[in-house]
Amino acid sequence: MTIQPGLTMTKTFTVESQHTASHIGSGTVQVLATPTMISFMEITARELLDQHLDDAHTTVGTRVDVRHLAPTGLGKQVAVRAEVLEVNEPRVVLKVEAQEGDKLVGTGTHWRYIINVEAFSQQLDS
């Protein structure tokens, strides 16, 4: 496993109706919901880390500390960037940001833990 500070990934998401606050119930307007923005951040972070793990391992999210700074409307593109800040296996700390063009939509820190998929799954059976 070769996860190092400085690794980055950016993914672009389009805000669709199922991503809005009014759809998921976290608000009443058709803008990108905070829980959806966080989900986009987690997806990006997970995919970044999975590129550097073997098939027996993945990561699980354990903590998110994010501020949602600006609204994003339907049909808009949100570029989500994850950057590895710290690796203290099994913990990995990442900086996460969401941008719509030049507008910073959200920013924060996300913690993920490297797990062995089989061992983790066995915990669910007990």
pLDDT tier at 1, thresholds 50, 70, 90: low
Dump pLDDT digits (tens) for 3-26: 999 999 999 999 999 999 999 999
Q: Considering just the CA atoms, what is the radius of gyration of the chain in Å?
A: 15
* Domains of the chain by start residue, with CATH: 8-125 (3.10.129.10)
Q: Which residue has the tokens 């049909």?
A: 75
pLDDT tier at 125, thresholds 50, 70, 90: confident
**DSSP letters of 59-83?**
EEEEEEEEEE-S--BTT-EEEEEEE
pLDDT at 2: 87
Q: Is the pLDDT of residue 126 over 70?
A: no
